[in-house]
Amino acid sequence: MSDIIISVQNISKVFPKPASQDISVLDNIDLSLRESEIVCLLGTSGSGKSTLLRIMSGLIKPSSGIVSWYGQPIKGPIPGVSMVFQNFALLPWLTVLENVELGLEANNIPPDQRRKRALAAIDIVGMDGFESAYPKELSGGMCQRVGFARAIVVEPDVLFMDEPFSALDVLTAENLRNDLIDLWVAKKTKLKAILMVTHNIYEAAYMADRILIFGTNPGRIMADLKVDMPYDRNPDQSKFTELVDSIYHHITQASDSFSRIGGRLKPVDIHFRLPEVEISTLIGLVETLHSEAPTHQTEISDLAQELHLDLDDLLPIIDSLQLLRFAQLRSGRVELTFAGKMFAEASLLDQKQIFARQLLDYLPIVKHIHKRLNMKAGHSIHQSEILMLLRQKLSDTASEDVLKTVIEWSRYAEVFAFDVNSGHLSLDNPGEVSETDAGTK
């Protein structure tokens, strides 16, 4: 097409972990950003796409591979790149004007010039009138407009955006997306290209010239889709719906190929990084699927639309259901298994029993804890023992998250009890209150 602005070759990122396995976040990534295109990196959270964005802007160094800016390998942050952050990163103690001027302060621009350019940038994003407001007076959408103004005031070649709309409500995000596309189409700024990270399929389909679909564990590019549609794109166009469906297809394929060997679901190991899903959402989805189509399969894109869920919210729930063998996912469709149907139809108490059986059968970590509790005198162990086990292969925060989910699911299924004050897991029936407890409660 046209000139390459940024290109990356063979980028990998590994976070070293002393005394256990290193955690690989990005694996062997190649991509290039060309002039006059908007590229979206699309994937679920934790797929390393934000890390890639930071590597490409020079904020962090890759473990291996080369990033080049107009053909030159980079060292440190690239001067021609500006960034828009998910949570705006506006300084609360500066006014709108001062926040935007901050972008120019590093460039030794004289104060009156600085003021003039900042005011112009504020005009472009439509925030004139709010120059003396502090961020806390502004709504999220307004804050992000200021974030845009701060990014474009330095007249960058490339704009990087890290989930810029995900902290906003649906209508505000829509409004901001449209305004951004208008700016881009009207060429009101000197931007040559935009690179955006998102987990919102609709957003990617709406804005991108090119969509790169990211797979997890470790992060890698699964597909490179060219979008050949003029702006304003209309979600009702058949071409748009086709695009959305094909994105869903690619994404579910990405997670399919990961969780299956041949046609069968892969059993997970004891260190499996459980998705953080609350028990009530799990049950809710099983029951929804059951009432939707007791016998048929449900299109995942329909499900997402109907439940108003992002890919980021929906996929972990479906993954958990697959993990517990309550449902299975095949080429973009979800279907309840026999256990799933049983569960949906069972009474409250029976549901707990079914859940407990699935937990013990398919989650090695729960099985392990249960075995340890049975072996131990007093039927009680401290949570640190399990954390130690998980930390062998997971990061510290990941281990804590996994343990939290395990405890929540197991408490619901009454597989074991947990006392947050002492940090002990035990086989005690949590319904029975001992004599000493009764005194304090």
* Chain residues in the site for another protein (CB under 8 A): 54, 57, 59, 77, 79, 81-83, 85, 87, 89, 91-95, 97-98, 102-103, 105-107, 119, 131-137, 150, 154, 421
Q: What is the chain's Cα-based Rg?
A: 25
Task: In angstroms, give the least distance from the CB of 111 to another protein.
Answer: 10
Q: Based on CB atoms, which residue is closest to another protein, 77 or 294?
A: 77
Minimal distance, residue 384 CB to another protein, in Å: 16
Q: Give me the least distance between CB of 267 and another protein, in Å please.
A: 37
- SS3 for 353? helix
- To another protein, the closest distance from the beta carbon of 284 in angstroms equals 24
Element (DSSP H or E) covering residue 357? helix 348-362
How many Cβ atoms are within 10 Å of 56's Cβ, its own excluded? 26
Looking at the Cβ atoms of 88 and 355, the one nearer to another protein is 88
E strands, 174-230, are 193-198, 210-215, 220-226
Please identify, using beta-carbon distances, which residue of 150 and 341 lies nearer to another protein.
Answer: 150
- Of 165 and 355, the one with the shorter C-beta distance to another protein is 165
38 and 196 in contact (C-beta within 8 Å)? Answer: yes
Which of 67, 42, 86, 38 is CA-nearest to residue 195? Answer: 38
In angstroms, how far is the first alpha carbon of the chain from the final one? 71
For residues 339 and 333, what is the distance between their CA atoms, to the nearest angstrom?
Answer: 18
Nearer to another protein, 55 or 324 (CB): 55
The residue among 95 and 259 lying less far from another protein, judged by its C-beta, is 95
CB-side exposure of 146: number of CA atoms within 13 Å? 31
Q: How far is the CB of 110 from another protein (least distance, A)?
A: 15
CA distances from 47 to 254, 317, 341, 390 (A): 12, 16, 31, 20
- Beta-strand relationship, 158-162 and 64-69: unpaired
Minimal distance, residue 424 CB to another protein, in Å = 15
Q: Minimum Å distance from CB 353 to another protein? A: 32
Of 349 and 420, nearer to another protein (C-beta) is 420
